[in-house]
Structure 1
Amino acid sequence: MNISPLIFHRSLGLQTPHDQSEDFSRVFTSYLYHYVDYDSSTRFTLSKGIRGHHRGVNCIGADETDGRWMVTGGADGSVLVWDLEQGYHEDNIKASTTVLHKDKPDHGISSIRFNPHNSSLFSITSYSSTLSLFSLTPSSPICLQTYPFDSHLYTHSTSPASISTALIAVAGSSPHIRLIDPRISSTSQTLFGHVTSVLSVSWSPIYSSILASGGRDGSVRVWDIRYGANCLGSLDVNTMPRVANRAAGKAHDGGVNGLVWTSDGRRIVSAGMDGKMRVWNAGDGRNTNVIFPPVVKNKFQSEFPIVITESDDAVGGEMVWIGNEEELLAFDLENGKMLKRVGIPKSEARDGIGRITSLVRRQGNGELYTSHALRDGKKLLGRREGVAGWKAKWLWKEDDVEVEQTEKQKKLQNIFEKATKGPVRFS
């Protein structure tokens, strides 16, 4: 039996009109993403006295309010904090501080999230079966609370729409999803429905009670936590969403380790270990049949690197970015067309920079940052870390040759110069 799309649509609360207003920052940032390249001029290094990620970097998190702070988690359980504004113009970003040894997990970090309402708070999950909440301080981050679990943890998600509590959904090798209220020291709710490990979770950016999750069995389930532990529906690649049960719909033929909502909460992008990516209409739960080229490499059970960047009609639609082994790929969310393919330079690979393990965007700057595994057991030299930046080339590399501007670039330049009262050159 299939669930009614009308009921599904109403349950997700998607009957309100979408506000199409755009500010200048969004337009300009959207433009920057179309010209992203590997930033080989900026290096991430360690300050004296700080111990780094000796076994590579598993994951990365960036604050979603100020766009200043970034945190990286290592395969050895180490956690480093980076101030992206300090030393930024000297092309050498140094780790500001590190989590004390007594507070770091015994095993590798699996995911990092900043509180979407407070850039001084972040949380981490680890393969040590713990979720830890931290507060940034001028010295070392302070561990506020640690929650022990009975299974390995793969990922977590903090609700951007839940301002009062900022509920945290935690997923791992257990088939159950645990909801954590940071105001209390125990699990506030448990969601039952998956029959295997849960590899991905993602809250709706608009509605605080709506959560999507991806299972190792290829299922994508949508939850409304107002209705207790019952799943609202399960997405199916061929039909409308099905009523939640143990024989629910199939979204992928492999584990779903990547889930992300569009900023308006109207679409969900899923990535499966079958090498497929799909776009779902959150209003009725249907597959939108967007076809992506067969180039996606997704063979690791860990969280798949995927983000969606801003849209603007003047410069193009929303872009889906993925970390595809040792390259970044960007696709048009509307039609699946590949828009950009940028690889790690060979010189960087020779130095030991390996596959991309995690991907985040810097809020309001048109920049992307990636964490990397170490290649063939190599160790990076010069106290350097497996972190890289990607941004519009003309922002970090001067060009002696004037490049003729397109009409679109001229219009954007005029807007930007009026807003900043300063000259800017597009190339």
Structure 2
Amino acid sequence: MNISALLFHRSLGRTIQTSPGVPHEEDLSRVFTSFLYHDIDYDSSTRFTAHSSPKKGQELLRIKGHHKGVNRLGADETDGRWMASGGADGSILVWDLEQEEEEDGEHGDYAYRIQASSMVLENDRPDHGVSSIRFNPHNSSLFSTTSYSATLSLFSLTPTNPTCLQTYPLDSHLYTHSTSPASTSTALIAVAGSSPHIRLIDPRTSSASQTLFGHVSSVLSVAWSPLYSSILASGGQDGSLRIWDIRFGATCLGTLDMNKRPQRANRAAGRAHDSGVNGLAWSSDGRRIISAGMDGKIRVWGLENGVNTGVVFPPVVRNKYQAEFPLVVTESNEAVGGEMLWIGSEEQLLAFDLENGRMLKRVGIPKIEARDGVGRITGLVPRKNSGEIYTCHALRDVKKFLGGREGIARWRAKRLFQEEDVQVEQTEKQKKLQDIFEKATRAPVTFS
């Protein structure tokens, strides 16, 4: 399929006729996005800022930024418009990704700016660093956060600052949480932390509705099935990966083992990794689950039989922090290949083919950005139907991030922001070739 024709027809809202196996209008955005993901690169032309200079007739937006780096990002899964960032100091900012401003750049070093639209007020923010952020999969105006201060908080986007709807004080440091995309009635939230049990929170109540027992140590990751509202996966610090069906009470269905078939649901059975499992993601069809371990391994599990599929990934993954590992799966289509697994490994963004583990992309943070203080990737989210990925970063040197700049970066397809540069480069090459031919033939030569 020609990408130029695809973009042209998409801009006009037309349905294009494709060859057999290529989707029509309803799946066009997925095909379009998949093409762009294969061409993604670091966007050095855009800066994220907490506040800016006041414009004529307007007051300065007094939004405080993340003073100690950014721990996590959460993205709106419905419209692809909103993003929230959580700082190591407990600060929470909201970003409207559609409000992008073109800048001249005081030193000519960047061309675009995305400004924070609001922030969570100090009275509503956690006392310690934010450990995870999730938008409600059914309502883009709602998002939730967990923190190392042992609290889960629910927020609602408003025209001014986000409103805190409910705060749940829990009994342990919280590492992550997950909201069920398949649950439309209750939208249960699974919360994991330093305690060996998992709390299930019903947003309609003011307390935990259920507790899942089975892990013997801290729970580092949780992820709901995208298709079944009762199926939950969890990863423990002891290397275990457990599967739960909450319809059958608080008992684990079984644990997955790297060398065997699923083991019985007892405390000693099954070992998915040789160290903690701090990253989990499901494939879009709900048939596979991907786990990332602090042993540097990534494994893909078939949920139909519960066994390790044996997909081997290159030994390039760096995963040594107990915090939630940056790991997402982007939807693709048969027309352009299978799903892509994206991870943030230290200061590199890596993409793999989920079917065979082959590395598809390996893009690092530019050296000039690293010198300016941009550190390792701590969070990773894709923007829905855009071909864009956003990352947040720990800071090497906080003092270098003055003037409201935040440790957030955008990665997008070269087709979207380097097209003019490529055309200019080709033109210059043609001119040089034309000069060479003209000197050789002593006659004017033109390229059509």
Task: Give the TM-score of the pair, scaled to structure 1.
Answer: 0.88
After superposition, the CA RMSD in angstroms is 1.7
1:210 aligns with 2:231: yes
Q: How does 1:341-420 map to 2 (within 5 A)?
A: 341-402=362-423
**Worse-superposed segment, 106-115 or 315-324:** 315-324
Offset from partner CA, 1:339-367 (integer Å, 9 cap, x none): 11000001111111110000000011111
Give the match's secondary structure for 2:260. coil
For the 8 Å contact 1:54–1:379, the answer to whether it is kept is no
Q: 2:220 aligns with which of 199, 209, 220?
A: 199
Percent identity over the alignment is: 75
Measured after TM superposition, the shift of residue 378 of structure 1 is: 4.1
1:60 aligns with 2:73: yes
Give the match for residue 422 of structure 1: none
Pair 144,242 (structure 1): closer, same or farther in 2 beyond 3 Å: same
1:31 aligns with 2:35: yes
Offset from partner CA, 1:317-340 (integer Å, 9 cap, x none): 111000000010001101111111
Structure 2 spans left out of the alignment, 5+ residues: 1-21, 52-60, 104-111, 426-448
Measured after TM superposition, the shift of residue 403 of structure 1 is: 10
C-alpha distance in 2 between matches for 1:88 and 1:255: 42
- Structure number with greater CO (CA < 8 Å, separation at least 6) is 1
Q: 1:276 aligns with which of 278, 291, 297?
A: 297
Counterpart residue type for residue 78 of structure 2: T
The structure 1 segments of at least 4 consecutive aligned residues displaced by more than 4 Å after TM superposition are 400-404
1:316 aligns with 2:320: no
Counterpart residue type for residue 381 of structure 1: L
Say how many residue pairs are matched: 387
C-alpha distance in 2 between matches for 1:58 and 1:305: 11
C-alpha distance in 2 between matches for 1:88 and 1:30: 26
Q: How does 1:127-138 map to 2 (within 5 A)?
A: 127-138=148-159
Give the match for residue 72 of structure 1: 85
Give the match for residue 175 of structure 2: 154
C-alpha distance in 1 between matches for 2:325 and 2:391: 12
Measured after TM superposition, the shift of residue 376 of structure 1 is: 4.3
1:96 aligns with 2:117: yes
Give the match for residue 303 of structure 1: 324
C-alpha distance in 2 between matches for 1:23 and 1:377: 43
1:230 aligns with 2:234: no
Measured after TM superposition, the shift of residue 382 of structure 1 is: 2.4
1:330 aligns with 2:351: yes
Measured after TM superposition, the shift of residue 402 of structure 1 is: 4.2
C-alpha distance in 1 between matches for 2:424 and 2:118: 41
1:49 aligns with 2:62: yes
Give the match's secondary structure for 2:32. helix
C-alpha distance in 2 between matches for 1:75 and 1:397: 33
C-alpha distance in 2 between matches for 1:260 and 1:291: 17
Counterpart residue type for residue 32 of structure 1: L
Q: How does 1:241-260 map to 2 (within 5 A)?
A: 241-260=262-281
Measured after TM superposition, the shift of residue 314 of structure 1 is: 2.1
Task: Give the TM-score of the pair, scaled to structure 2.
Answer: 0.84
1:186 aligns with 2:223: no
**Worse-superposed segment, 324-333 or 88-97:** 88-97
Measured after TM superposition, the shift of residue 397 of structure 1 is: 2.2
Larger radius of gyration: 2
